[in-house]
């Protein structure tokens, strides 16, 4: 079964608008955030207009109803990702928040001086900086899985990188720069051999392909709602229940306690223990409707559509002279992200001219400065696709890139 992007686009009000310069919007920055369907927008508005109350504390109808909607989302998230159980789903402010939670709770308790934390050289800063901070505090060592020229992980020396001193392996499933989708099995298996825990940054993968957390068998998995049609300010941390149970709270305050005395407190059971304070209730309820939408479209259909778009785009990109593409050529190992550079033209200039054509892409280092240094470039231009994108969007992108080359060609000739 395939999806119809032209029909689905009707559900996204922003995609039908015209930019201030009179050009139709061609939105190709889905790696940064996805657009929102009307059902998600309406659900968020309805909460504030009809259902607004705090959760877990009121005995009156509005509070009970809001609590039910909030907790129903937790159950739905657990089913959608085939997690261990609903208690293993912790709502956070985003992927960054989720990774910091693990670093500052599990990491602080279990990482000691001389221990190792293993990352990769292509991690987003959100899965790099928290571990740098923990390593500095604990006097631990950071080690890195390198990448091959095709940007897949180089696992040739994995047993030397992940050792008996390794306590945590934190890696991304899909690169936000190159779109490379990594096979994590060997890394997870090696971590199991030495007793290390595995955290996967799923910010890019969770929105583009089916994810079965029980089958993946990782200890932690983090992702954000806003990249998968949901509101901003909502993230999810999955953790194995027995590990979450043993972790201390990260933040103290309301809703995460069982009892409080002047000198001490006892903490609530999961998941409340790790969700202090009033959460983004409207955002979580909106995320519930985003999951409904994705379920209806089908994650495998989304993956297949993006593969078709990526193949079409790569074919067209390869006909442009002076353009370098970063990432593997193997479509089985690539998601709907294409990063590129144009010889002699700064990515910011490319992005600015594309904006004049209504084309929205990302330019810069994409919060992956170490990877840019390895590529020996200041940054790239990144086009990232979702299921509502079409071949016509890519055609406009290609035409706009040719305009960039034309403009800078005239400048050079002068």
Q: Is the peptide bond before 271 cis (omega within 30 degrees of 0)?
A: yes
- Which tokens belong to 71? 């907790």
d(CA 111, CA 267): 23
Alpha-carbon distance of 234 to 91, in angstroms, equals 7
Q: How far is it, in rounded angstroms, from Cα 371 to Cα 313?
A: 23
In the set 207, 367, 368, 381, the catalytic residue is 367
- Is the C-alpha dihedral spanning 60, 61, 67, 72 positive or negative? positive
**Distances from the Cα of 389 to the Cα of 37, 198, 223, 243, angstroms:** 14, 33, 22, 40
DSSP 196-258: -EEEEE-TTTTTTS---HHHHT-SEEEEESGGGTS-TT-EEEEE-HHHHHHSPPSS-STTSEE
Tell me 357's DSSP state: T
The first and second tokens of residue 36, run together, are: 């929102």
- Contact (Cβ atoms closer than 8 angstroms) between residue 361 and residue 354: yes
* Backbone φ, ψ for residue 147 (5° rounding): -120, 150
367 is catalytic: yes
Q: In whole angstroms, what is the distance from residue 127 CA to residue 175 CA?
A: 12
Strand runs (DSSP E) across 202-308, as ranges? Answer: 220-224, 235-239, 257-260, 265-267
The residue written with tokens 């956070």 in the block is 92
Between the alpha carbon of residue 387 and those of residues 58, 96, 176, 284, the distances in Å are 40, 25, 17, 22
Residue identified by tokens 């990260």 is 250
- How far apart, in Å, are the Cα atoms of 61 and each of 71, 131, 285? 15, 43, 17
Cβ 219 vs Cβ 243: under 8 Å:
yes
Helix (H) / strand (E) element for 77: namely helix 61-80
Which DSSP state fits 248? Answer: P
Active site residues: 367
């Amino acid at each position: 079964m395939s999806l119809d992007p032209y029909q689905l686009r009707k559900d996204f009000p922003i995609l039908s608008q015209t930019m201030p310069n009179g050009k139709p919007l061609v939105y190709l920055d889905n790696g940064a955030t996805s657009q929102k369907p009307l059902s998600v927008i309406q659900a968020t508005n309805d909460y504030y207009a009809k259902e607004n109350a705090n959760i877990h504390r009121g005995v009156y109808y509005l509070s009970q109803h809001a609590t039910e909607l909030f907790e129903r989302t937790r159950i739905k998230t657990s089913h959608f990702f085939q997690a261990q159980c609903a208690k293993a789903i912790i709502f956070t402010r985003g992927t960054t928040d989720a990774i910091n939670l693990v670093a500052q709770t599990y990491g602080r308790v279990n990482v000691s001086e001389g221990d190792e934390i293993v990352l990769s050289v292509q991690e987003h800063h959100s899965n790099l900086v928290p571990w740098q901070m923990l390593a500095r505090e604990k006097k631990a060592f950071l080690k890195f899985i390198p990448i091959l020229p095709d940007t897949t992980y180089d696992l040739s020396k994995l047993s030397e990188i992940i050792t008996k001193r390794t306590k945590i392996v934190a890696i991304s499933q899909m690169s936000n720069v190159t779109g490379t989708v990594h096979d994590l099995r060997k890394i997870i298996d090696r971590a199991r051999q030495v007793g290390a825990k595995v955290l996967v940054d799923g910010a890019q993968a969770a929105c583009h392909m089916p994810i079965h957390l029980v089958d993946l068998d990782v200890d932690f998995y983090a992702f954000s709602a806003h990249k998968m049609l949901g509101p901003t300010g909502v993230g999810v941390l999955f953790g194995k229940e027995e590990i979450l149970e043993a972790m201390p709270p990260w933040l103290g305050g309301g809703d995460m306690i069982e009892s409080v005395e002047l000198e001490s407190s006892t903490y609530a059971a999961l998941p409340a223990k790790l969700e202090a304070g009033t959460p983004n209730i409207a955002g979580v309820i909106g995320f519930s409707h985003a999951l409904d939408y994705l379920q209806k479209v089908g994650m495998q259909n989304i993956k297949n559509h993006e593969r078709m778009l990526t193949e079409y785009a790569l074919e067209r990109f390869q006909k442009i002279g002076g353009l370098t593409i970063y990432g593997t050529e193997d479509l089985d190992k690539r998601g709907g992200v294409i990063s590129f550079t144009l010889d002699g033209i700064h990515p910011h200039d490319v992005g600015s001219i594309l904006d004049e054509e209504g084309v929205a892409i990302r330019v810069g280092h994409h919060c992956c400065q170490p990877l840019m240094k390895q590529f020996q470039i200041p940054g790239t231009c990144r086009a990232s696709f979702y299921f509502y994108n079409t071949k016509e969007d890519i055609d406009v992108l290609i035409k706009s890139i040719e305009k960039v080359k034309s403009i800078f060609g005239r400048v050079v000739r002068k």
